[in-house]
Amino acid sequence: MQCQYAQTTVPALLFAKTSEDTMASTLEALERWVDEVAALVRPAKIHWCDGSEAEYQALLGDMLADGTLVELNQQTHPGCYLHRSHPSDVARVEHLTLVCHPDEIDAGPNNHWMDPAAAHAKMDALFDGCMEGRTMYVIPYCMGPIASPLSRCGVEITDNPYVVANMKIMTRMGDAARERIEREGDFVRGLHSTGELDPERRFIMHFPAERTIKSYGSGYGGNALLGKKCHALRIASNQARDEGWLAEHMLIVGIENPQGETHYIAAAFPSACGKTNLAMLIPPEGYRQDGWKVWTVGDDICWMRPGADGRLYAINPEAGFFGVAPGTSGDTNPNALASISHDTIFTNVAVTADNQPWWEGLPGTPVTDWQGRPCDPANGPAAHPNSRFTVSARQCPTWSEKAEDAQGVPITAIVFGGRRPSLLPLVMEARNWTHGVLMGAAMGSETTAAATGAVGVLRRDPMAMKPFCGYHYGDYFRHWLSFDRPGAKLPKVFHVNWFRKDGNGRFLWPGYGENLRVLEWMIARAQGTVPGRETPVGILPGAGELRLDGLDLGRAALDELLAVDPAGWQAEIAAIGEYLEGYAPRLPPALHAEQQRVAAALNPPPLQAAAG
């Protein structure tokens, strides 16, 4: 890399940036760690990232020069570039992702585990000399607004400039983060190398007790952008348990009513359940005319902490979107499409004849597929199904300035959801916090033949955190339950299912912007303005409580969407109990008791005959 700002010695750069000798002691841990890494990986040179626009443009220029990036049509997509990854390196690798607690039981059955000493030895052998001839980039970054007490900092060391450019977009990266690390003296350590991109030499290791991540052999986002799932969820979930907060795989969306009041909702969904669409929802026409607005705070990760008033306050620790491109269109998510019209890095998408990015669902015709080959249907989809875009969240038309609030936004409702073609109603409210935790612990989605080759396979994914919870799920459920304490003013908890189908396999609910109707009911429940309808499985909308004007939805469809089948639910709650037993003996007794309470409510004792 031809950079005037590259440095070959660490201490010289560090102390050049600090005029006070007293600052040196706060840098000791960082300096020592960088020196240790440099001695292990033996780079040709070291570059400390400052997060400036000049630095970013220099990185782009060098990657364009060496073919790491391809320039897209600058008239239609100014500032946009394409990256093609190795065909064997296109997604997260969960079977190679390990959580290395000192005691295996602490990782739980929900994680792959390795003894920390053995894991360090394995990874250090891979890292030995891996950066010879390469630049070692040191990336100080902050997850969350720089001034927020809810934010946490980290430093990623990598040899991949594509990773640096993405971290620039996805985090608050550079001098401001380094200065916060200097003040606090605490940071998560992340070491990454692209290595040889050999799937047999690819591991992503997490050391929660040490607040350390080591990733080798991949350049894909979730494996290489260590601020994302690795820090923001796997390591942060452990930090959150230790410090009394929550690190969750949730969007954050603000719903502003015609009176100018904004209620913030955090929602967790497994993949393919409309998470980004909900975060960037466009209200139906009638709602827009009435003055309803939707504000996007975050589309993927939410950190929540109790405030002095007992409410939960949330920040989005990320500064950008690392979104799935296929399925993003003017019909499904026009706000996302508008966001990525400029200054975006695309990964593994196809390209049209006039050099525009393309994926299935967009108009136009691709000529080159995601591997750079001429398009041929025999080779599969033109864009990889997991192709991505990386873009600043500020480019979203509905981005909220509250995303930069140091105190975070107060959460009115927490929503869980999944893709279930039957049984689960459109929306139901938990009777209390413990019931809400049970709803989250039981959530999951049923797969389709197109996705897995088998129809109706239910995959449980508690709180949408199964690939990301950095410790035993039983302990995680216990941590959630611990927030129900005297003085707490906790959000209402709901479960939604946008995907219920009729007998002909057609979706009963139109979804997308119409989901605002359901969110409006949740807010009304939180404010106590509608009574709802009590059922054994939760509180559902009562007659006339869902606003349906302007919606072509028959009474029969609505009844089916809100139906509760006792026999089906008896089987469901029994299956939930069996699933949760897999986390015994660490399953909290309160959660087991709540499952038993719902089961009993679904099986009321027969009425005794009156004595005669």
What amino acid is encoded at 133 in this protein?
G
pLDDT for the residue numbered 452:
37
Among 25-39, 118-132, 480-494, the least confident range:
25-39
On the question of pLDDT at 17 being above 60, the answer is no
On the question of pLDDT at 7 being above 50, the answer is no
CA 596 to chain centre: 31
Residues 356 and 419 in one domain: no
Could you please report the per-residue DSSP string of 319-356? SEEEEE-TT-STTT-HHHHHHTTSS-EEES-EEETTS-
Q: Is residue 83 part of a domain?
A: no
Could you tell me the sign of the dihedral formed by the alpha carbons of 348, 354, 359, 360, in that order?
A: negative
pLDDT for the residue numbered 185:
87
Mean of pLDDT values over 101-117: 98
pLDDT tens column, 67-88: 999 999 999 999 999 999 999 9
Token pair listed for 586? 């660490």
Could you tell me the sign of the dihedral formed by the alpha carbons of 344, 347, 353, 358, in that order?
A: negative
Q: Is residue 590 part of a domain?
A: no
**Strand 152-158 and strand 188-193: pairing?**
parallel
pLDDT for the residue numbered 449:
40
C-alpha–C-alpha distance, residues 139 and 407, integer Å: 25
Residues 416 and 525 in one domain: yes
Which of 174, 172, 280 is closest to 232 using CA atoms? 172
What percentage of the chain has pLDDT greater than the value 90?
A: 90
Mean of pLDDT values over 550-572: 96
DSSP H helix total and E strand total for the chain: 19, 29
Q: End of a domain among 354, 370, 395? A: 395
On the question of pLDDT at 409 being above 60, the answer is yes
| Summary mean pLDDT of the chain | 93
Cβ contact 218:204 at 8 Å: yes
Which of 400, 17, 317, 299 is closest to 142 using CA atoms? 317
CATH number at residue 187: 3.40.449.10
C-alpha–C-alpha distance, residues 518 and 551, integer Å: 13
Cβ contact 5:47 at 8 Å: yes
Q: What DSSP state is assigned to residue 95? A: G
Residues 437 and 505 in one domain: yes
pLDDT for the residue numbered 455:
52
Residues 378 and 415 in one domain: no
CATH number at residue 373: 2.170.8.10
The number of CA neighbours under 13 Å toward the Cβ of 210 is: 18
- Considering the entire predicted model, what is its pTM? 0.94
**Strand 357-358 and strand 350-352: pairing?**
antiparallel
On the question of pLDDT at 294 being above 80, the answer is yes
Q: End of a domain among 191, 220, 244? A: 244
Token pair listed for 82? 């394409």
The residues assigned a catalytic role are 273
What amino acid is encoded at 519 in this protein?
L
- Torsional class of 109: left (φ above 0), alpha (ψ -120 to 50), beta (otherwise): alpha
Give the count of beta carbons closer than 10 Å to the beta carbon of residue 175.
Answer: 14
Rounded to 5°, angle at Cα 455 from 452 and 456 = 115
Helix (H) or strand (E) holding 145: none
The neighbouring-strand residues paired with 184 are none
Q: Is residue 413 part of a domain?
A: yes
Token pair listed for 167? 């971290």
Instruction: Tell me the helix, strand and coil percentages in the chain, rounded to 5.
Output: 35, 20, 45
For residues 444-482, b (16+ Cβ closer than 10 Å) or e, as one string? bbbbeeeeeeeeeeeebbbbbbbbbbbbbbbbbbbbbbe
Which of 121, 101, 120 is closest to 111 using CA atoms? 101
Token pair listed for 197? 């991109």
pLDDT for the residue numbered 21:
41
Cβ contact 351:327 at 8 Å: no
Q: Is residue 533 part of a domain?
A: yes
What amino acid is encoded at 1 in this protein?
M
Q: What do you get for the CA distance between the two ends of the chain, in Å?
A: 95
pLDDT tens column, 323-347: 999 989 999 999 999 999 999 999 9
Q: End of a domain among 345, 365, 395? A: 395
Residues 168 and 238 in one domain: yes
Number of domains making up the chain: 3
On the question of pLDDT at 476 being above 80, the answer is yes
Residues 51 and 200 in one domain: yes
Q: Is residue 77 part of a domain?
A: no
**Strand 492-496 and strand 427-429: pairing?**
antiparallel
pLDDT for the residue numbered 27:
74
Token pair listed for 258? 């015609």
Print the domain residue range for 297.
248-319+401-568
Which of 490, 491, 492, 483 is closest to 429 using CA atoms? 492
Mean of pLDDT values over 107-118: 98
Q: Is residue 564 part of a domain?
A: yes
pLDDT for the residue numbered 272:
77
Mean of pLDDT values over 260-270: 97
Residues 140 and 175 in one domain: yes
Which of 156, 405, 420 is closest to 295 using CA atoms? 405
For residues 446 and 413, the model is more confident at 413
Q: Is residue 234 part of a domain?
A: yes
Q: Collapsing DSSP states into helix, strand and coil, what is residue 269?
A: coil
Q: Is residue 611 part of a domain?
A: no
Residues 237 and 386 in one domain: no
Residues 410 and 287 in one domain: yes
Residues 353 and 387 in one domain: yes
Q: For residue 523, give every residue at least 6 positions away whose Cβ sits within 8 Å of its Cβ, in sequence order, or none.
A: 255, 257, 263, 412, 413
CATH number at residue 438: 3.90.228.20
The model's confidence at residue 608, banded by pLDDT at 50, 70 and 90, is low
Residues 376 and 501 in one domain: no
Residues 451 and 551 in one domain: yes
Give the count of beta carbons closer than 10 Å to the beta carbon of residue 217.
Answer: 25
